[in-house]
Structure 1
């Protein structure tokens, strides 16, 4: 195997080669004339060229030096497209005028880390149209009660409205991945987050603790946070959470209500 191919697999790159899928991703994004787009991992420019064709300005960030050089020579043009070399996890979101859209076939190995980073700058982002592993897409779009529902689902629902757009088979890529992929749409909530959490970071730590043992009940997972079990039962009741409920059965708003009960208990 060539050195370049080994490196690209290490980076989690699977190149989209199905033109119909590429066309559909760009169409689903709704990007048009005058829009600004950030693309992570443009690879060989399959999406990039189509986004440019829609009249959008594209800022594409590519980590592979060879691909960056090839794509820069092919598509980089002032006012139309900028091909930037670098690690997208260090992207400067202030370097492009907001608001902008994100349209990407994300590298599998860092897709969740990238999406969490996008959420940190959600106030600058209009929408995201992302291709990720099917398993990740299920976690991002899951609702309470779904088997894939977890802390990432709660984190996502706090920031965005999500939609599963379509499934992409392994045959659409070179090299072929071992799993299916999916394209999902995420749109910035027009209003404030659907629930108010006095301390956002503490809230998400609370949610993660709730999911530490998925098969156990919420009472078992959080009992150490309420040494007084009588107060814990009252808090569960006030928040509308059943003692025997498992974390994957609890919605975002119920988690927020229980978190507020915990904050009151601590004070």
Structure 2
């Protein structure tokens, strides 16, 4: 089979380490009765071994050349193929076709991983779990705690929705071409029974965190000053002189709920 030349515009780094591939398949632990969706199958490093364990796999691949390569494999008959940008796929349609929660996995391109994860959170009610290979810094941002330089809007929204676990650290040597950064394989499991955080409306929480972290070096009194007076922040037991990275997820939820309960969110956001 002709060698595939990785395309920079799709940020392609293909997993080639057989030990890591085996470990990832074990961690995903696919079952035949599940609705599995792979984003970016690439050269089929995960696709091939997973197809040995299940009868059907939905794949989303933007690169037409890679789809042509997949057609030459014996397991192709097990694939339901979407030649699309993963950010433009109707995941609700996939859920409705299977009538069951979907499991999503993949080696995500570094250039779209954050926007794709945030996009998938909007579909969280139809997702059973997500297992992704990510750039190390993105994975660390997902699990970052208040006070960390990596703690930000992604940390808050991700931890609001999911229990996140780092499953595997992966060296650049496990990919071709070799990336300049380390990678981490993570699991994101949406909360279903126990919810550690609560806001009346996630759009308001998203708006507040976006506003705060746009000016992350400024103290809250300035970055959120157009919404919350210093007096309100003190009333909510939030120090107005702290920076956005020093405020907990619970406190951001508190701010969100204050906006909603006092009917002031409508000035700033369409809900």
- Unpaired segments of 5 or more residues in structure 1? 227-231
Counterpart residue number, 2:123? 121
Counterpart residue number, 1:23? 22
Distance 1:188 1:56 in 2: 25
TM-superposed CA distance for 1:28, in Å, is 1.5
Counterpart residue number, 1:53? 52
Counterpart residue number, 1:266? 264
Q: 1:56 to 1:29 in 2, by over 3 A?
A: farther
What SS class does the counterpart of residue 182 from structure 1 fall into? strand
- For 2:239, which of 238, 242, 250 is the aligned residue? 242
What SS class does the counterpart of residue 121 from structure 2 fall into? helix
Counterpart residue number, 1:229? none
**RMSD across aligned C-alpha pairs, in angstroms?**
2.1
Distance 2:145 2:52 in 1: 36
Counterpart residue number, 1:100? 102
Q: 1:237 to 1:83 in 2, by over 3 A?
A: same
TM-superposed CA distance for 1:192, in Å, is 7.1
Distance 2:104 2:258 in 1: 37
Q: 1:265 to 1:38 in 2, by over 3 A?
A: closer
Distance 1:47 1:262 in 2: 45
Please list every run of at least 4 consecutive aligned residues from structure 1 whose deviation after the TM superposition is greater than 4 angstroms.
Answer: none
- Unpaired segments of 5 or more residues in structure 2? 266-271
Q: Is the 8 A contact 1:76 1:83 kept in 2?
A: no
Structure 1 residues 217-256: aligned runs within 5 Å? 217-226=219-228, 232-256=229-253
Distance 1:177 1:256 in 2: 37
CA displacement 1:96-135 (0-9 Å, x = unmatched): 4221211100111111121112111111111111001111
Q: Is the 8 A contact 1:137 1:182 kept in 2?
A: yes
TM-superposed CA distance for 1:173, in Å, is 0.5
Distance 2:153 2:196 in 1: 16
Distance 1:260 1:238 in 2: 14
- Between the two proteins, the alignment pairs up a number of residues equal to 257
Q: TM-score, normalised by structure 1?
A: 0.89
Q: TM-score, normalised by structure 2?
A: 0.87
TM-superposed CA distance for 1:34, in Å, is 2.1
Alignment partner of 1:76 is 2:76: yes
